[in-house]
């Protein structure tokens, strides 16, 4: 079943015709330091075909289900019926030997002979490497061994510019580094041992499970303004802004809501409005304990310093 958004046609296309149309999709990339964009293919030819051919080769045809291939605005969606033969994605990526078992051996051998699937059963790893080479998000695999279904998403757009720039500027990263950082950019949980390694190397920061690309990476990739907007100003700067605002308010004072309206653009964007208001409340209470501001009812005033 092919849900083909970009090309509406009154007849059934062959697999090769569909793939050919997708392979010709392009996007524009702005290299650093230039106003002239590079044009590149939105999807890598090998990755498009390898993912679909894997679905065909490893489908469990006894389940009598369809292979699904859907083009979405930012990614390609594939699904097929059957258990994932390597067991886990990690097994598929780490395995250095040809696969010894095929569900549809005759079909697989025929597809190998026609160069349709990888001859050494390392096609999945090659797809990850191709996305890495192109500085794109890693493929997503959803493996349901109980329902016997495998889903793959191949991305054709960047998700987080900081991740993309990091891949472009850091040539010391391994494939596993990129997979872990990709999980961070997608807001997913990573193993704590992996997180600690990335923290020590200065690639991420934060506390489990809410990690983000670190300040040093933001500086190196010229994303400090974006980073600052996400993380917000530090507490000392916020304190100074509160004092300035209450000083301007004078004897009339100001309620927390008006102080929030003044500060909201410099509060962390990765927090909800409720979390931002709570953060401001904690800051006001802390400053009140220090005796530099005070509250009368719901109105805040600056305390004159002697």
| pLDDT tens digit sequence for 194-204 | 999 998 888 88
Q: With contact defined as beta carbons under 8 Å apart, do 183 and 198 qualify?
A: no
One domain, residues 207 and 114: no
Determine the structural domain holding residue 271 and report its residue range. Answer: 235-302
Q: What is the pLDDT of residue 161?
A: 81
One domain, residues 21 and 151: yes
Q: Tell which of 216, 231, 246 closes a domain.
A: 231
One domain, residues 96 and 224: no
One domain, residues 38 and 103: yes
Q: What is the pLDDT of residue 130?
A: 94
Q: With contact defined as beta carbons under 8 Å apart, do 84 and 150 qualify?
A: yes
Local mean pLDDT, 10-residue blocks, the chain (306 residues): 41 60 62 52 90 93 94 92 92 80 87 78 88 94 94 91 83 91 90 91 82 64 50 72 88 92 80 87 92 92 81
One domain, residues 126 and 35: yes
Q: What is the pLDDT of residue 6?
A: 40
Query: What is the H or E stretch that residue 278 is in?
Result: helix 273-289
| Beta-strand relationship, 140-144 and 75-81 | unpaired
CA angle 294-269-243, nearest 5°? Answer: 25
One domain, residues 227 and 240: no
Q: What is the pLDDT of residue 101?
A: 77
Tens of pLDDT, residue by residue over 88-128, are 999 889 887 767 778 898 998 898 888 888 755 678 999 99
One domain, residues 138 and 60: yes
Q: Tell which of 207, 231, 255 closes a domain.
A: 231
Q: What is the pLDDT of residue 121?
A: 60
Q: What is the pLDDT of residue 138?
A: 96
> What is the number of domains present in the chain?
3
Q: What is the pLDDT of residue 237?
A: 81
One domain, residues 173 and 195: yes
One domain, residues 138 and 173: no
297: left (phi over 0), alpha (psi -120 to 50) or beta: left
Phi, psi of 267 (to 5 degrees): -85, 160
Q: What is the pLDDT of residue 118?
A: 72
One domain, residues 150 and 248: no
Tokens of residue 16, six digits: 């090769």
One domain, residues 117 and 16: yes
Q: Tell which of 139, 155, 171 closes a domain.
A: 155
Q: With contact defined as beta carbons under 8 Å apart, do 131 and 44 qualify?
A: yes
79: domain CATH number is 3.30.565.60
CB count in 10 Å sphere of residue 4 = 14
Q: What is the pLDDT of residue 13?
A: 53
Largest CA distance in the chain: 90
Q: What is the pLDDT of residue 249?
A: 87
Mean pLDDT over all residues of the chain? 81
One domain, residues 150 and 184: no
């Amino acid at each position: 079943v092919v849900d083909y958004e970009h090309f509406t046609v009154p007849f059934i296309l062959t697999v090769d015709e569909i793939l050919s149309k997708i392979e010709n999709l392009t996007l524009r990339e702005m290299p650093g330091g230039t106003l002239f964009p590079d044009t590149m293919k939105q999807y890598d030819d090998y990755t498009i075909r390898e993912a679909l051919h894997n679905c065909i080769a490893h489908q469990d045809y006894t389940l009598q289900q369809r292979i699904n291939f859907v083009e979405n605005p930012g990614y390609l969606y594939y699904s097929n019926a059957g258990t994932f033969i390597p067991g886990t994605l990690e097994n598929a990526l780490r395995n250095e030997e040809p696969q010894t078992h095929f569900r549809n051996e005759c079909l697989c051998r025929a597809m190998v002979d026609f160069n349709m699937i990888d001859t050494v059963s390392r096609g999945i790893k090659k797809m990850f490497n191709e996305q890495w080479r192109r500085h794109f998000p890693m493929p997503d695999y959803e493996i349901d061994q109980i329902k016997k279904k495998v889903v793959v998403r191949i991305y054709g757009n960047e998700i987080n510019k900081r991740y993309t720039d990091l891949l472009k500027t850091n040539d010391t990263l391994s494939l596993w580094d990129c997979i872990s950082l990709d999980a961070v950019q997608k807001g997913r949980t990573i193993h704590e041992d992996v997180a600690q390694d990335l923290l020590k190397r200065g690639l991420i920061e934060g506390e489990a499970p809410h990690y983000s690309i670190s300040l040093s990476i933001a500086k190196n990739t010229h994303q400090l303004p974006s980073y600052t907007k996400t993380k917000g100003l530090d507490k000392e700067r916020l304190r100074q802004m509160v004092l300035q605002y209450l000083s301007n308010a004078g004897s009339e004072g100001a309620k927390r809501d008006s102080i929030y309206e003044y500060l909201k653009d410099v509060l962390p964007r990765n927090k909800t409005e409720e979390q931002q208001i709570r953060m401001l409340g904690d800051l006001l209470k802390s400053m009140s304990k220090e005796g530099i501001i005070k509250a009368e009812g719901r109105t805040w005033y600056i305390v004159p310093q002697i």
